[in-house]
Amino acid sequence: MADTKCYMIVLAALTDRERFMNGYAKEMVDLIPKFGGRYVLRGRDLALLEGEWGDGGSMIISEWPSREAANTMWHSPEYTEVKKLREGTGQFHVVLVDAPQING
């Protein structure tokens, strides 16, 4: 599935939005495209319709040419350093999902 697009979906409940935005988020704007990804959505104040997450969180979705490309960024030395800027700024859930072409 190396040629199947992949999406990285991040749910964030930020406790220090200012530090998150001025540190981690600012660095990620350049890092995501460096590894072949692009932002599809960066939204806040989500409304939970079902489940245990809670209202008011944020969601970030990035599109990648493949799962391999997303994993290369995630495990890179550059991301390891940038991720430190996220520490103590909230609670995060991060998933990767392959997106094969849907015909219909």
Burial profile 70-97: b = 16 or more Cβ within 10 angstroms, e = fewer: beebeeeeebeebeebbeebbebeeeee
Question: Backbone phi, then psi, for 36, in 5-degree steps?
Answer: 95, 5
For the record, the structure tokens of 96 come out as 């990767």
Give 1's pLDDT tier (boundaries 50, 70, 90).
very low
- β-partners of residue 9 are 61, 95
Q: What is the pLDDT of residues 37-87, one digit of tens each?
A: 999 999 988 888 888 776 678 999 999 999 999 999 999 999 999 999 999
The model carries a pTM of 0.88
Q: What integer best gives the mean pLDDT of the chain?
A: 91
| Per-residue confidence (pLDDT) for residue 100, from 0 to 100 | 76
Can you give the pLDDT at residue 104? 61
Task: State the residue for tokens 């220090």.
Answer: 16
Cα 12 from Cα 100, distance rounded (Å): 26
Residues 2-18 have a mean pLDDT of 89
Pairing state between β 90-98 and 6-14: antiparallel
> Options 3.30.428.10, 3.30.565.10, 3.30.70.100, 3.20.10.10; which CATH number does 6-98 get?
3.30.70.100
